[in-house]
């Protein structure tokens, strides 16, 4: 049976590769269902997640593709009740709420739902050939799966309006300048760049990372009380004692090796 995503367990993270190359990874209900299955697994067994695309053959040779948007053939047939189900917005919200960080590794098109999927990630790395945009208004609909609020929170209102209201498409370099993405890599090094980022996250205390991610989504009114409660939990964790003692030991060793 064909799958819309290929999921592999790597050392320290899970890799999910969007796998509908014949339709440029258009996001259909099968892909949504498989992403829900993956989220259920990661909610039970928290791990860092990397989401990336695949390579498609073109007249100019192989090209990367993240996701060209929602499946228009399916979208064309959806009605009011389908919109109220929040098919895409529901899965993107679930991805954004995963316990551990999510990294989107983007090459080629990340348009419409593709950009909204990337926006649901905590980090985005991309190639110079990436294309980010929200063309929904050209199809008579809105970007209702997160871009209307995540995009302006990420790049600011003026640029978000250019993308949403005037159809501007950003290249990878432009996206880096706008802080839409965190890093730019060549296509050959994109996945390695995402893995290196995952390794930096994995080197931190997992519980501290999980709690930090959750607290960042809290409303301002919840702080600082919620921070104090979370810190109280972490102050009792064995990892806190072990990591701080290791820090003190390294500091002492360095001092002994380099006395003033």
φ, ψ for residue 40, nearest 5 deg? -60, -40
∠ Cα 201 205 206 (to 5°)? 75
Name 9's bridge partners: 14
d(CA 34, CA 32): 5
**116 flagged as catalytic:** yes
Segment holding 257, helix H or strand E: helix 238-257
Give the H/E segment covering residue 117. Answer: helix 113-119
Tokens 């053959």 belong to residue: 57
Joined together, the tokens standing for residue 128 give 């110079």
Q: Which is the catalytic residue, given 29, 45, 116, 260?
A: 116
**Quick check: helix, strand or coil at residue 259?**
coil
* 136 tagged catalytic: yes
Q: Which of 136, 174, 189, 236 is catalytic?
A: 136
Structure letter (DSSP) for residue 146: T
Catalytic residues: 116, 136
């Amino acid at each position: 049976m064909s799958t819309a995503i290929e999921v592999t367990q790597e050392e320290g993270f899970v890799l999910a590769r969007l796998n509908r190359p014949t339709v440029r990874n258009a996001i259909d209900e099968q892909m949504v269902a498989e992403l829900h299955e993956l989220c259920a697994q990661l909610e039970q067994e928290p791990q860092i997640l990397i989401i990336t695309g695949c390579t498609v053959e073109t007249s100019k040779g192989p090209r990367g593709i993240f996701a060209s948007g929602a499946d228009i053939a399916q979208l064309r047939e959806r009605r009011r009740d389908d919109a109220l189900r929040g098919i895409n917005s529901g899965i993107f919200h679930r991805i954004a709420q995963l316990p551990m960080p999510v990294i989107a590794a983007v090459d080629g098109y990340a348009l419409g739902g593709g950009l909204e999927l990337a926006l649901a990630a905590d980090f985005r790395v991309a190639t110079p050939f990436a294309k980010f945009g929200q063309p929904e208004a050209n199809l008579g609909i809105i970007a209702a799966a997160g871009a209307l609020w995540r995009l302006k929170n990420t790049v600011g209102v003026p640029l978000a309006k250019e993308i949403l209201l005037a159809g501007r498409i950003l290249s990878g370099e432009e996206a880096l300048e706008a802080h839409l993405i965190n890093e730019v890599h060549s296509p050959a090094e994109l996945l390695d760049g995402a893995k290196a980022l995952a390794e930096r996250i994995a080197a931190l205390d997992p519980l501290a990372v999980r709690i930090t991610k959750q607290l960042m989504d809290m409303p301002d009114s919840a702080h600082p009380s919620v921070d104090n409660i979370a810190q109280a939990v972490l102050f009792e964790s064995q990892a806190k004692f072990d990591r701080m003692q290791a820090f003190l030991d390294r500091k002492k060793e360095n001092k002994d090796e380099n006395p003033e």
